[in-house]
Structure 1
């Protein structure tokens, strides 16, 4: 029997970026029976890789025992000696130091090419180069290809649906066969966050056009939870899931959705990880940057009016704002989005 090749894949954060690694890992395990993959990530994200054959997770406690340089050295000492090669699909200071320390064992390593120059050209206001860039999934796959393991990413490279726990069913007051659409209207930055009035309008439209569906609202933090509670109280089809479940329980719920409505944020990637269709609303960012959910078609992406706002995207992550662009998300064709949601739901 051929000896297993042990690859250490490093991706510590953020949530959506780690979730985007999942289809690549699944593709590798399906194609190469001689691989054993070790994933180094934060404890919260270890659940993403559960139940994938030949995958082992190692936890990086970056705020505790693996913090700072002594912590990185401690982490390096904890990495198993059976590792053969390193795939750094994060390529930040912490992973670079770790990679350098582990390379002293004589391990071959490759790192992600993030395409910073192309992303800068896509987001600058002068001489903008407006073209689609490689997706994060493609960039991850390229690292493994350089190690000798090319893969072709396909729709079947997703995790199977998980059973919704009884605690979730009871907390949401639903039954296990309920028709569910997820809706995550928030994002880390204002430029890609859905205005509350638009969220309410979408819920009202879906209540009228899809009366058999319940809309499960996702979010986090006190302010978001309070806003979602208000929507739940006002609208008969809305159910607020924010802050009610363990992360693992929330993932089981997401895996059972018929459809996820998301901003350019992590919830879209969590749903796509389970093969759930994802309809995305874009504001200050753009899918050309490569962060659209896994293999979602253009028909599922709803963008602002680029004639009215020609300087979009303003940034890669949504953390920058141009004067006069504060209300970019108001220019999205929400009627077209509702039509697409109804098509997908039916």
Structure 2
């Protein structure tokens, strides 16, 4: 036992703590960054501090340990974070990459600084994002991607990485539950995630139903609906019950199994939300529909071409983006996504399925 422990210690020269506690889409955007890091620096161990629920996202990355943060339990508050820092310190942390930059991560970062550890923190680009989203004197230009902002944190620690070296993982084997759900379908597998945190970047449900109905009639796709929560479950069950080729995934798979299914899709249609980043991290063709947010803010799904984005009428709604997260809606901007016609979404799906 002692011998294997010594081998483990010799295998890694350093252990970097990576802090990203939430939200799901932001955590998913870290995954490609860490894939490249592991391939570039195989002798450096990564310890990712995040919610336990998110651990399956990192399952394809070797020599990476997920340490669960219980921020509503034993790690709550300053004393809880102090306890967490002590626990992490026992793992032999050498450096800290804070890719979250919130109060909790700042406290942890400070505690490690006091221990003499080198730390680096993500620059969220707040000033340039404010210039991009303000209604007057808007500076409308492409900002640095969130993936690159994360990569810059590692560069600051002395570990530059190049996304051109990134390789997507192989498709994962399907479980019995997934095989039962998919019913052995040999059609193209299309995922549709019709919801987002804010209505301002959620495609109107009646228009999404038109998209689903048209694609169902083509009889070329097995359509899987993704969402979460009781309200979304009921809505998606109702939609799925009306069509032959539509399956509601909600509450039928574990999160780990859901990720395996997403990784085996041919195409995903999503809002500017977490599901877009989940599918993109597996290299799935991902079509994104945007409302009052915009790809210029840096939240494009990883390695997806701009052609896979569908935007509303920017000439009519020239204040877009009105916010980074979709939480600010100017008067008269409540229905911007109605300018995205269902036919355009169907056309984008069919183009990628050729």
**Range class of TM-score, shorter chain:** over 0.9
Alignment correspondent of 1:62:
71
TM-score by length of 2: 0.94
| C-alpha distance 61-177 of structure 1, shift in aligned 2 (>3 A) | farther
Secondary structure of the 1:342 match is helix
> Matches of residues 14-93 of structure 1 in structure 2 within 5 Å?
14-81=23-90, 82-93=92-103
Q: CA deviation at 1:150?
A: 0.9
Structure 1 residue runs of 5 or longer lacking an equivalent are none
Q: CA deviation at 1:208?
A: 3.2
Alpha carbons 1:285, 1:315 under 8 Å: kept: yes
Residue 226 (structure 2) pairs with residue 246 (structure 1): no
Alignment correspondent of 1:96:
106
Secondary structure of the 1:126 match is coil
Query: What is the CA–CA distance in structure 2 between the aligned matches of 1:191 and 1:2, rounded to whole Å?
Result: 49
Aligned pair partner of 2:321 in 313, 322, 325: 313
Alpha carbons 1:304, 1:333 under 8 Å: kept: no
Aligned pair partner of 1:148 in 145, 158, 168: 158
Following TM superposition, the consecutive aligned residue runs of length 4 or more in structure 1 with deviations greater than 6 angstroms are none
Secondary structure of the 2:164 match is coil
Aligned pair partner of 2:334 in 326, 329, 333: 326
Alpha carbons 2:17, 2:96 under 8 Å: kept: yes
Please, what is the CA RMSD of the aligned residues?
1.5
Secondary structure of the 1:79 match is helix
Alignment correspondent of 2:237:
229
Alignment correspondent of 2:285:
277
Residue 308 (structure 2) pairs with residue 300 (structure 1): yes
- In the TM superposition, what whole-angstrom CA distance separates every residue of 1:68-118 from its partner, at most 9, and x where no partner exists? 111101100100442111110001000000111111211010000000011
Structure 2 residue runs of 5 or longer lacking an equivalent are 1-9
What is the count of residue pairs matched by the alignment?
A: 344
Q: CA deviation at 1:178?
A: 4.8
Query: What is the CA–CA distance in structure 1 between the aligned matches of 2:279 and 2:121, rounded to whole Å?
Result: 27
